Amino acid sequence: MGRVTGRWVAVLALAAGLAGAMIAGPWGLPATIAAALTAALTTSAITARALTAMGLIPSGLMPTALLTSGLLASGLLASGLIPSGFMPPALISPAVAATAQSAQPVVDVALVLAVDVSYSMDVEEQALQREGYAQALVSPEFLSALRLGPNGRILLTYVEWAGDQEQKVVVPWRLIDGPEAARAVSAEIASAPLRRVYRTSISGGLIFSAALFADSGYKALRKVIDVSGDGVNNQGPRVDSTRDEVVARGITINGLPLMLKRPNASSLDIEDLDQYYEDCVIGGPGAFVIPVRERAEFIRAIKTKMVLEVAGVRPPPRGPRIVPVVQPPRISCTIGEKIWGERWNN
């Protein structure tokens, strides 16, 4: 077999470019044809690499067709015109991947509001919790904190959680870059119907929330999960192990333990829920807990916590007590599972 000349390389490049125009252009070929063409381009690119390794294509001439094929396939994948299964990861060059990553818009923080909707929360508490978040978003303190960031904008999503398989995105990722956007998200949160679900799996809520960052569409300088709830983990993976896994991914977990009702013999709650959150739930850089013990301080506590999370600072505590993460644990991180097992003998 003879060596491939520059003329053939130019022909291959032109063919790849024409195929790209047919796929991505106004003709809008069906997805099956687009996938087939992309697979062909992928095969030609891999073949070109093999021929170069065998010395049949001069190394100075090979890149034209190869790069055209690779860039075209990468562009089709990024634009959603082809399924990801047709695009081998090995074909996406580090330069193309880095360019796509750097092209993402930047926000100061991506914040998941992960809210407990288990049956231990009565309807009045749920309504108060919802009102607290809605009011916090339009408060002057929150909007001032928003402007403090280097980009002046954040990303926020509102999630409800209960049992191990009971998580729901109530408000998907929303960009907040000023009062108008804040009002819109506040109204969206306030208008969502209330619901209650069985069991309490903080770990399930953390796993679900952590997975949301991958599809936010933005690059966040900080990633934060804001967990609020009135009980301990009694279903799903261990909460402390889950916390460690989430924190290892560069995500900070803050907590708002709701201690409005005193535990009794018939409940699954514990007296020191704030310590449980401090020792077993929160983690990551700057993680903190703000316990809520009185209804009167509920909305103020939510506002304080969100201001801290958005601004990325910790001002001197006023009103609600701000507690940093505690290690080693002072309370068993499996106490919820133990109480449930003793109560229901399982």
User: 0.75 cut: is pTM over it?
Assistant: no
* Short-list 299, 294, 293, CA closest to 132: 299
DSSP state of 215: G
Q: Who contacts 264 (Cβ-Cβ below 8 Å, separation ≥6)?
A: none
Q: Looking at residue 231, what DSSP letter applies?
A: S
- In 3D space, the residue among 310, 334, 266 whose CA is nearest the CA of residue 139 turns out to be 310
pLDDT digit string, tens, across residues 234-289: 888 999 999 999 999 999 999 999 887 665 555 566 778 899 999 999 999 889 99
Which two tokens mark 7?
Answer: 């003329």
Most confident of 2-6, 52-56, 77-81: 52-56
Which letter does DSSP use for residue 198 in this model?
Answer: S
**Of 34, 2, 8, 3, the residue nearest 21 (C-alpha):** 34
**With 90 as the cut, is the pLDDT of residue 66 above it?**
no
Pairing of strands 323-324, 288-289: antiparallel
What pLDDT does 333 receive? Answer: 83
Do strands 106-107 and 219-220 pair parallel, antiparallel, or not at all (unpaired)? parallel
Could you give the angle at the alpha carbon of 306 between the alpha carbons of 316 and 143, nearest 5°? 95
Residue 219 CB coordination number (10 Å) = 14
Residue 175 vs residue 8, higher pLDDT:
175
Closest CA to 273 of 229, 240, 243, 237: 229
Report how far residue 132's alpha carbon sits from residue 153's, in angstroms, rounded to the nearest whole number: 21
- pLDDT at residue 118 in the model: 86
Q: In the chain, count H helices and then E strands.
A: 12, 9
The C-alpha atoms of residue 206 and residue 296 are separated, in whole angstroms, by 28
Could you give the percent of the chain with pLDDT greater than 90? 38
pLDDT tens for 281-339 read: 999 988 999 998 888 788 888 989 889 998 875 545 544 445 555 566 677 787 765 76
Calpha distance 32→83 (Å, rounded): 10
Query: Which H or E run contains 155?
Result: strand 154-161
Do the beta carbons of residue 289 and residue 309 sit within 8 Å?
Answer: no
Tell me: the pLDDT tens digits for 9-27?
Answer: 444 444 444 444 444 444 4
The mean of the pLDDT values for the chain is 74
Tell me: the pLDDT tens digits for 117-142? Answer: 988 777 888 888 889 999 999 999 99
Q: Of 319, 333, 318, 304, which is closest to residue 243 (Cα–Cα)?
A: 333
Helix (H) or strand (E) holding 228, with range, is strand 223-229
Exposure on the CB side of residue 332, measured as CA atoms within 13 A = 8
| CB contact at 8 A, 44 and 69 | yes
- Burial letters 42-60, b for 16+ CB under 10 A, else e: bebbbebbebbeeeebeee
Structure-block tokens of residue 26? 């106004």
Share of the chain above pLDDT 70, in %: 60
